[in-house]
Every structure is written in C-alpha cells, then in structure tokens.
Amino acid sequence: MNIRDFLDQDQKKDLLRLLTAGSVDDGKSTLIGRLMFDSKMLYEDQLAALKRDSKREGHAGEDIDYALLLDGLKAEREQGITIDVAYRYFSTNKRKFIIADTPGHEQYTRNMITGGSTANLAILLADARKGVITQTKRHTYLVSLLGIKHVVLAVNKMDLVDFKQEVFDQICNDYKAFATQLDIPDITFIPVSALKGDNVVEISNRTPWYHGQSLLEFLETVHISSDRNFEDFRFPVQYVIRPDLQYRGFAGKMASGIAHKGDEIMVLPSGKTSKIKEITTYDGNLDEAFPPQAISIVLEDEIDVSRGNMLVHPDNQPKVNRHFEAMLVWMDETPMDPYTNFYIKHNTHSTKARIDKIQYRVDVNTLEKSDAELFKLNEIGRIVMTTTEPLYFDAYKKNRQTGAFILIDPVTHNTVAVGMILDKVSSDSLPSRITDKEREHIVKQGSLISTGEREKRYGQKGQTIWITGLHGSGKNELAYSLEKELFSMGKIVVVLDGKTVRAGLNRELDYSPSDRAEHLRRVAHICKLLNVQGIICIASFISPKEDIRQQVKEIIGKERFKLIYMNADVEFCRANDKYGLYKLADEGKLSHLAGVDEDYEVPENEFINVENGVGNIDQVITQMGI
C-alpha cells in the first residue's frame, strides 16, 4: 500500500470521542496509557521518555507508570492525580480516537463537563477493592446529564482481588441498581487490570469466566453512528460567503438532520422559504450533507439570511421561544448573581438572558434536590430562563447540538456556566421578578447634591403619581393633562405610559403575568431614579394586580408614591377604547387584557378615586398637595 492509499484509508475511518472518569487513584490515566502502549501507538522517543520518567517520578514501583503519558502538569505528577483535562489522540486499523482524561476530584467537576461535552462514550472506572462509591455515582449522573449514550464500567485493579468473579458480579449488580434511575441506554461491564494489561487490549487468561470483549475491541466496534440526530434538519448559519456577485452562500456546520439538493427550507426567525440550489464544500459540490460536515448552502431565492439565523425544514421546526427550563452547571470561581443579565451563546446566535428562578440545586453525590438562591463553582441545578430574543432549540435529550448553550459574564466576558435545555416554559407559569430579595438588592446611589438641595432649587418634591385602571378608563388623558398643568406651574415633570415604554425600553417583553411584572419593575426603578433627582413622575399603567402595585410602591418608596384609581366600568372603557384592544381580545387575537380574560383587582387604599373620565384637574392637583 502506498502512502496515498494509506492516508485515504485513514481519512475514511470514523472518530470516537470518549472520556474517562473515576475516583482518585482508580487508574484512569494508567488505563489510557496502557491502552496506547499495548496498541503500539507510542513513538520510540515517547517510550524512552516514559521509561525514564517512570524511574524518576513514577508511582508504580518497578513497573512502567503509564499515567505519566497523560498527567503532564507538574502538580499532577507530584500528587499522582489528574487536575486538568488531558486530551490524547491515537488510532488503530479500525477507528480513530480522541480521549479526554478528566479529573476525579469533586472540585474539578467543571473540567469533567468540559471534557465530556463532545464525547460519544464514557469509561467510568471503579476500584475492585472499593466497588461502587459516591464518586462513581456522581460521575454517572454527570454522564447522564451530558447525554452520553454509551458507558463502560471498567472494574480496575482486578489483580488486587485475585480476579474473583463474585467481586466483579457484585460491583456490576450494585451499579445497575443505581444506573436504572438515570437515562443511559447502553452500559457495558469489563474487568481489567490497567497496570498489568489484563483485558485492556487482549483478553486475559486470568479471567476465564469473562466472555466479553477486551476494552480496545469494544471501543473499536461500538456503534455510534446512529447516536447523531439525522431526523431534524438544523443548520445554524455562521457566516455569509459573498466572493462575487454570482455567489451567495451560507456557511456553517450541520448540527443535525440531512440536507438534500432541492430540499425546501425555511429561515428562522423570518419564516421565509426557499429551496437548496447547491451544497458546496472545499472539495466540491454535494448532493446531500449530514452532521458534522462543514458546508455552504446556496438558495434558489435571494432572501435575507444572516449569522445567527437557522435553516430548517418547514414541516420540522425547532421550538422558538424566549422562555425555557434548563439544567445549569456553574463553572466560574465567582458565585452566581441571579440579577445579572448574561450573554447567552446558543449555536451561532447570541443574545441576552436572565435567570427567572432557580427550581432546585442537585447534590451530585446523593442526587438529592434542595432550594437555592444562587449557584457556586461546580454546582448544578434546574433553572427557568428568559432571553431577550427568541432561541431556536430542541430539548438537549433529543438534540445535543441545538439543546446546549453557554452563559457569558457581561463584564468579564468569562464563560460562567453551561446549560442543557429541558423544554420551553409557558410564559403564564413564569415567576414574578419582583421579590423581597430584589428589594434588598437595590443599590443606593450617592450624589454630591442632596435631595433637599434639589427640592429647594426646583421648588418641588420628587414623587410618583401612579395612575391605574382598565384600558380605556382615561389614564393617559389624565396623565398628560396633569403634565401640561404642572408644567405651566413651573414644575419639572415627566410622563411614562405603557405604549411609550414598551416601544423602547421594554420592547422585548410581552403581556404575560411574569413579563408584565418585569415591565412594571423596570418602570418603578425609573420612577425612583427620577424622584431622587427631584423630578415629579406621572406613570400611567393598567397594573391590574394589587400585589404588584404594592411592590412598585415599595421600590419607589411609600412617602413618594401616590395612587390614582380611574374608577370606570368595562362598558365605559369599551366605549372609550381608541385602539380596538377589547375587540381583539373578544376575537381571541389578544390575551391577558384586564377586564376580559384577566381580572383587575381594585386598589385597596387609593389616594384619589376618579370616576368615569379625567375629572377636575385643579381638584386633583389640590388633593395631591403639589
């Protein structure tokens, strides 16, 4: 065979990505080192260095310390443990391999998550003398969380228990009893001695009772091609290629599914449709493409497509939503601040995101769930999240490529967390963002100008006049009439109303209970900031819930907050509806409209009650004491 044929054959071999995990001293690095050594995958200079280092700093006595092939950090060699993720590549005649040797210590959980994020298979080691321990269960849970479908439990150090079958069988039974709680479809058990080489590359005659494959034989033959999702076509656009006027291609990596020349496609989020004209690669055009190929797609029609968009089949679309639940792994040294607006990177799409609620934190050692207000380094839990722009996603269990994301700190730009999407969440079930914790979190800003000095200069006290009532009750008419009258009196006054605020600051929020609470929370903070500066703020908002109005009052400050209730019945409001919202609600085209499909709670202690219309402006100003 000439070199060209050899390289061509090597190119066609498929790739298996795997990780190893286990407790400290279970022999992960030794097992991989032995695998590479016995499969004749070491160069002469590597072998010479390994023998030399084994004598100088090895932990295997007179034997070669195969762990030194992977434990490259000085601290790892001194302690005889793995700290960082070590990646090693080797190949056999049947398959190519990339191995991630991950740390066993609990404090390095994030390193294991990193190493396993792209793995097809996990080798978990158990010490034959100790059996299934807490670390084994923890690593199994993490493997299940990462969606790895194939697990090998390598029961190591069988030479130290005289290769007894009953020891191996007991460990297998204990592991099966635990693993049945998790979603791992394929589990294989192999008794090995990494130090002596038993059942690593070749079947050992010291385990005549074992009738399975050696570890290398299993790795060479395990079927992984069907693990990828070939059903759901997902193509995140990474780059638009335009070398000349004749060519406009959309480049990216096939996340899942199969694309054929001539297929009808849809662009998200625009919903525009076209057909695939060409599938281009560096080596030429293709009739079809599949994951994980990097390709460029040319469409028959000139439609707007840009980075962050996704191409899908019209009859098989992902979920498009701003709200979803996910499992989150916190990876930053700094504990989570749940009030931060993070950057979220999902495939090629980036936007902002907030954490609405932490459902629970998982103790990865016991699988017990507990309440939590934040996550610290290596902690894992379930969260509810909302993004500024919609994401196009599938559940991580169904599609790892479109179900995973990372969170980025907006100040440091560090990757602080990784997440696996579980499912979308109805906006109706989202929690309110106005909480006791948030009120405590409000930071008081200092100024060289005191509030008293501002009030003396402006001749007024900063306060908020909050006008509430049904849509069409006359809130805005009263608000702007008040503004004009106060302005004519020389007052400094600002009006905030729902339509204006939603057109800019809150344009990404909808009318669901949770988003409405967030909408009013932001308005309350604006009012507070204006009041501190000595400015009178008039806020005109439906604000139908009493508890939200009370929370707004607490944010602004009870001494600055005055409530006007526009006391008008639904019939009056319908007649005064200038935007046709009641008609849209009656036709089912609009939801969450107070007085139709959502209750309006009448204020318990309003400052002024205005019935059916604007009323007497002078009387209102007098009652307000301005």
Q: How confident is the model at residue 62 (pLDDT cuts 50, 70, 90)?
A: low
Neighbours of 56 (CB within 10 A): 10
Is the CB of residue 608 less than 8 Å from the CB of residue 622? no
Tell me the mean pLDDT in the region 139-153: 91
Helix (H), strand (E) at residue 287 = none
Q: How confident is the model at residue 72 (pLDDT cuts 50, 70, 90)?
A: very low
DSSP string, 604-619: SS-SEEEESS---HHH
> Is the predicted pLDDT of residue 75 greater than 50, yes or no?
no
Distance CA 37, CA 47 (A): 8
> Is the predicted pLDDT of residue 585 greater than 50, yes or no?
yes
Enumerate domains of the chain plus CATH numbers.
10-226 (3.40.50.300), 234-312 (2.40.30.10), 319-425 (2.40.30.10), 450-624 (3.40.50.300)
Q: Phi and psi for 383 in degrees, rounded to 5?
A: -130, 165
For 238-274, how does the pLDDT look when each residue is reduced to its tens digit (9 = 90+)? Answer: 999 998 888 999 999 999 999 999 999 999 998 999 9
Longest distance between any two alpha carbons in the chain, whole Å: 102
Q: Of 2-11, 117-126, 248-257, which range is least confident?
A: 2-11
Q: Of 53-62, 347-356, 362-371, which range is least confident?
A: 53-62
Q: What percent of the chain has pLDDT over 70?
A: 85
Three-class secondary structure of residue 338 per DSSP:
coil
Distance CA 253, CA 289 (A): 10
Tell me the mean pLDDT in the region 492-513: 89
> Could you tell me the CA-to-CA distances from 193 to 35, 162, 199 in Å, in that order?
11, 11, 7
Distance CA 23, CA 112 (A): 12
Give CA 271 to chain center in angstroms: 24
Residue reference for tokens 């980036």: 350
521 versus 35: the higher-pLDDT residue is: 521
250 closest CA partner among 287, 291, 303, 288: 303
Q: What percent of the chain has pLDDT over 90?
A: 46
Beta-bridge partner residues of 343? 352, 408
For 326-353, how does the pLDDT look when each residue is reduced to its tens digit (9 = 90+)? Answer: 999 999 999 998 888 899 999 999 999 9
Three-class secondary structure of residue 471 per DSSP:
coil
> Could you tell me the CA-to-CA distances from 526 to 447, 466, 538, 539 in Å, in that order?
17, 13, 11, 10
Neighbours of 315 (CB within 10 A): 7
The one-character DSSP state at 381 is E
Is the CB of residue 623 less than 8 Å from the CB of residue 610? no
Distance CA 167, CA 71 (A): 30
Q: What is the chain's mean pLDDT, rounded?
A: 84
Amino acid 28 reads: K
Which pLDDT score is estimated for 530? 93
The pTM (predicted TM-score) of the whole model is 0.66
> Could you tell me the CA-to-CA distances from 128 to 66, 205, 377, 546, 597 in Å, in that order?
19, 18, 31, 63, 64
Distance CA 82, CA 618 (A): 77
> Could you tell me the CA-to-CA distances from 97 to 38, 103, 130, 217, 236 in Å, in that order?
15, 19, 29, 13, 27
For 157-181, how does the pLDDT look when each residue is reduced to its tens digit (9 = 90+)? Answer: 999 999 999 999 999 999 999 988 8
> Is the predicted pLDDT of residue 16 greater than 50, yes or no?
yes
Is the CB of residue 142 less than 8 Å from the CB of residue 104? no
Which pLDDT score is estimated for 74? 37
> Is the predicted pLDDT of residue 553 greater than 50, yes or no?
yes
Tell me the mean pLDDT in the region 113-123: 85
- Bridging pattern class, strands 186-191 and 150-156: parallel
Most confident by average pLDDT, 48-52, 79-83, 552-556, 618-622? 552-556
- E-strand ranges in 157-293 read 186-191, 234-236, 239-244, 247-253, 259-260, 264-268, 273-281, 284-286, 288-289
28 versus 270: the higher-pLDDT residue is: 270
Three-class secondary structure of residue 295 per DSSP:
strand
Tell me the mean pLDDT in the region 276-291: 92
> Is the predicted pLDDT of residue 503 greater than 50, yes or no?
yes
Tell me the mean pLDDT in the region 356-361: 92
DSSP string, 327-358: EEEE--SSPP-TT--EEEEETTEEEEEEEEEE
Is the CB of residue 610 less than 8 Å from the CB of residue 467? no
